[in-house]
């Protein structure tokens, strides 16, 4: 999402009213405005909470496509902060009846760990055998390994097979 750059250029040129910015991208990656940081932060959180309640009722595959596409665009534009994607996913996961469907959809789109973790955490907290399968899959993906190790340390015991699978990665996850 190039809207960060576009927003600032349009603002300097007095053309903000003529620029259309994807409303979901604007919530996930809002333009930086530090003039009233506290109120702006509250407004952004409220917008992200509303977005989560809207997306939580939709098909996880479609939502995963939307979220990961915006994340890919942001990375391509070298934009990584501020992102509200993780917050939105935590809110969706809080109310999701089927976190497995969300996890599968996000895995299929190679979503970053901060989008996957809320759903996989919910699975790990409620269903260890199913979680072990998903965490094991996460350990096989370099971008999800640290998340997988963190979930194992929180929800598994050393006797679990997935613990043994992850143990070689423990030293690489120190300090994360």
**Could you list the pLDDT tens digit for every one of the 176 residues in the chain?**
455 566 677 777 887 777 777 889 989 988 776 677 788 889 999 999 999 999 999 999 999 999 999 999 888 888 877 789 999 999 999 999 999 999 999 999 999 999 999 999 999 888 668 888 998 999 999 999 999 998 988 888 888 888 888 888 887 766 55
Which distant-in-sequence residues (6+ apart) come within 8 Å of 153 by Cβ?
A: none
pLDDT at residue 3, as a whole number: 56
pLDDT at residue 5, as a whole number: 63
pLDDT at residue 24, as a whole number: 93
pLDDT at residue 131, as a whole number: 85
pLDDT at residue 109, as a whole number: 97
**Cis ω for the linkage preceding 82 (within 30 of 0):** yes
pLDDT at residue 1, as a whole number: 42
What is the model's pTM? 0.84
Asked whether the beta carbons of 77 and 3 are under 8 A apart, the reply is no
Rg (CA), the chain: 18
Asked whether the beta carbons of 70 and 32 are under 8 A apart, the reply is no
């Amino acid at each position: 999402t190039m809207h960060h750059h576009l927003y600032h250029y349009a603002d300097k040129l007095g053309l903000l009213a003529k620029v259309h910015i994807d409303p979901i991208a604007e919530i996930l990656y809002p333009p930086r405005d530090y003039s009233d940081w506290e109120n702006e932060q509250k407004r952004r959180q409220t917008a992200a909470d509303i977005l989560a309640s809207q997306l939580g009722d939709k098909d996880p595959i479609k939502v995963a496509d939307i979220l990961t596409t915006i994340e890919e665009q942001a990375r391509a534009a070298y934009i990584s902060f501020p992102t509200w994607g993780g917050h939105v996913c935590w809110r969706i996961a809080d109310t999701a009846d089927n976190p497995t469907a969300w996890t599968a959809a996000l895995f299929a789109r190679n979503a970053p760990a901060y989008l996957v973790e809320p759903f996989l955490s919910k699975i790990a907290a409620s269903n260890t055998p199913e979680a072990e399968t998903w965490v094991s899959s996460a350990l096989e993906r370099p971008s999800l390994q640290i998340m997988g190790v963190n979930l194992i340390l929180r929800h598994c015991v050393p006797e679990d097979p997935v613990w043994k699978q992850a143990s070689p990665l423990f030293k690489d996850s120190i300090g994360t």
